[in-house]
Amino acid sequence: MLESFYKDSIVLLEGVIAEIIARLEIIRKYKIVHNDRDPIEYITSRVKSEESMKEKLKRKNLQVNLETALTKIYDAAGIRIICEYIDDVYSVVKMLKKFKDLKILQEKDYIKNPKENGYRSYHIVFEVPLDIAGEIHPVNIEVQIRTIAMDFWASLEHEMKYKKNIKNQEMIVEELKRCADEIATTDINMQTIRNMINGK
């Protein structure tokens, strides 16, 4: 059942990713030409794997079918935007909100309100009106925006989630929380130093 979801929907999921990245790349080039700061360091993207989608649907006690996977789970298509500084993260959020044809379905600021484990990132889910040969298909995409440091932390924490039988897990969770707080302080300090250098 889920196999057909991915087979049939891949063009939409890959399409929505390509559409948003293309729009962002145009703005980035425009900013460079006009000597404006480009707040984006780099962009990554992925279509959620069948295995991961199935696991998430089950974890959320949802039915494993096409309809639910596309409408109840928001990150079948995902883009991650990595920035140098915290201010850049919020500049990207502003940039994204200027696309008036994109409907915001969900917005979570895990930077101002970090998760208990220390996770920090800005998440926005958009419904994108994807135009395929004149036919409009509304497709959801989750955009995660965070600093290089937050991304570094999230990658390691994510690795832990998928490992079974980890020794000293409690201690590792504590250490990760400590690192998340240190990283948050460093992000703030780096921003402050940069502002001072630029006379802000």
Lookup: tokens for 132: 């395929």
38 CB-near residues (< 8 Å, 6+ apart): 28, 31, 32
148 CB-near residues (< 8 Å, 6+ apart): 41, 82, 83, 84
Q: Which is nearer to ligand 0O2, 74 or 85 (CB)?
A: 74
- What is the rounded distance in angstroms from the CA atom of residue 153 to the CA atom of residue 147? 10
Q: Which is nearer to ligand 0O2, 103 or 115 (CB)?
A: 115
Q: Is 119 in the site for ligand 0O2 (CB under 6 A)?
A: yes
Annotated catalytic residue: which of 142, 159, 170, 175?
A: 142
Lookup: tokens for 140: 């959801």
Q: Are the C-beta atoms of 171 and 112 separated by less than 8 Å? A: no
Lookup: tokens for 14: 């890959």
Smallest separation (angstroms) from ligand 0O2 to the CB of 183:
13
Stretch that binds ligand 0O2, among 21-29, 86-94, 115-123, 172-180 (CB under 6 A): 115-123
> Does an H or E element contain 158, and which?
helix 148-161
Strand blocks (E) in the chain: 42-47, 77-83, 103-109, 122-132, 135-147
Residues 147-176 within binding reach of ligand 0O2 (CB under 6 A): 154, 157-158
Q: Is 56 in the site for ligand 0O2 (CB under 6 A)?
A: yes
Q: Is 123 in the site for ligand 0O2 (CB under 6 A)?
A: yes
| Active-site residue flag, 142 | yes
- The residue from 40, 48, 88, 140 that contacts ligand 0O2 (CB under 6 A) is 48
Smallest separation (angstroms) from ligand 0O2 to the CB of 82:
14
For ligand 0O2, the binding residues (CB under 6 A) are 48, 52, 56, 74-75, 108, 115, 117, 119, 123, 154, 157-158
